[in-house]
Amino acid sequence: MEGSSSISLKRTYRLFVSTWNVGGLLPSDDAELEEWLDIKNGHYDIYILGFQEVVPLNARNVLGPKNRRVLERWSSLIRKSLNKLPSSKLHEGKQKVHPMKEEEEEEKEGGHAQEFECVASKQMVGILVSVWARSDLRRCISHRSIACVGCGVMGCLGNKGSVSIRFLLHETSFCFACCHFASGGKEGDEVKRNTNAMEILSRTTFPSSPPPPLDLPQKITDHDRVFLFGDLNYRISLPNASTRSLMEQNRWSILLQKDQGINQERYDRCELRLSDHRPVRGIFAVDVDVPKSSS
């Protein structure tokens, strides 16, 4: 990034990125998310969680005021699940990031220090994004910003579109664009989804950069690390019987060749059954530039 200080090393962080269409259903107060969030492993530095249809996509929710209860419920459940992990397990094999003196006092909840804290969260109608980081990484995350693009009804409402969150981790810029594209399985419907993608990439703009020496990116693709994920609604361009047969044979390479522009190399699925969709999740190891002064 232009204007950054001399780089002396790279650090590798593990990111948990997941997306889930919850079908307009709100989880109960005692819902358990530990299996989905892979709490037992406890080796992730940052969680990026994207949701679609956190509210039913009816006229009242699309045109009316935002229901804050939805965001608050999901945030509460995520916080509770992530902070169940024992501290010793969380930091097993991790590089220690020492907080600055003024940030040594961690957030408390119920009298206990939180191991994960919310970096940013945003809801636009049914799309919700929530980013959580290890508490000792918070001082390394800066210049958070959020941009929303609606491309649903009339090409502008938020029943379809994206919520994007960007930040710097040390001196490397990240952008996470959680999307919900147009549905439909008829021939030619993929054109609508392609149009959604182009609209999101062209219309998403983050606030202008602060004064030098920083030169922060304003568009999604200008960032150092970009993750575009969500319910993209792309279909496999094969008859249903052929698709199921190839799946049973684990012939994924053929399915990927027939996919309408999507090539996801590694992912798995969690069998949570809140809706008729299942959450899918990917694990990424990312290299981050660290200024010499931080070593």
Query: What CATH number should be reported for the domain holding residue 274?
Result: 3.60.10.10
pLDDT, position 260: 53
In a domain, 2, yes or no: no
At residue 10, does pLDDT exceed 50? yes
Residue range 149-154: mean pLDDT, rounded: 90
Average pLDDT over residues 130-157: 93
What pLDDT shows up at residue 112? 47
Residue 151 domain-assigned?
yes
pLDDT of 6 reads 56
pLDDT of residue 111: 42
**pLDDT over 80 at 255, yes or no:** no
Q: Tally the C-alpha atoms within 13 A of residue 222's C-alpha that lie toward its C-beta.
A: 15
Return the minimum-mean-pLDDT range out of 53-62, 66-75, 148-157, 278-287.
Answer: 278-287
Q: Is residue 101 part of a domain?
A: no
Sheet order of strands, 268-269 included: 116-124, 127-134, 46-52, 7-21, 280-291, 268-269
Q: What does R_g of the chain's alpha carbons equal in angstroms?
A: 20
Q: Please tell me the predicted confidence (pLDDT) of residue 280.
A: 83
Q: What's the domain count of the chain?
A: 1
Kindly report, residue by residue over 50-102, the tens digit of the pLDDT: 999 999 988 988 888 888 899 999 999 999 999 985 554 555 545 444 333 33
Q: Residue holding tokens 């010793």?
A: 88
Per-residue pLDDT at 261 exceeds 50: no
**pLDDT band, very low/low/confident/very high, at 126 (cuts 50, 70, 90):** very high
Does residue 153 fall inside a structural domain?
yes
Dump pLDDT digits (tens) for 213-250: 678 999 999 999 999 999 998 877 777 788 788 777 87
Q: What is the DSSP letter of 163?
A: E
Whether the per-residue pLDDT at 109 is higher than 80: the answer is no
Residue 288 maps to a domain: yes
pLDDT at 258: 61
Give pLDDT, residue 94.
53
Cβ-in-10-Å burial (0-12, 13-18, 19+) of 1 comes to middle
Q: Per the domain annotation, does 50 fall within a domain?
A: yes
Place of tokens 């459940």: 77
Residue 161 has pLDDT above 60, yes or no: yes
Pairwise CA distance, residues 129 & 177, whole Å: 9
- The percent helix, strand, coil of the chain (3-state, each to 5) is 25, 30, 45
For residue 186, count other CB atoms closer than 10 A to its CB: 8
Band of the pLDDT at 294, cuts 50, 70, 90? low
Is the pLDDT higher at 112 or at 72? Answer: 72
Identify whether 206 is part of a domain.
yes
Q: Which domain holds residue 37?
A: 7-95+107-294
pLDDT band of 129, cuts 50, 70, 90: very high
pLDDT at 263: 39
Residue 175 in any domain: the answer is yes
Strands 112-113 and 141-150, by their bridges, are: unpaired
**For residue 185, what pLDDT is reported?**
79
pLDDT of res. 134? 95
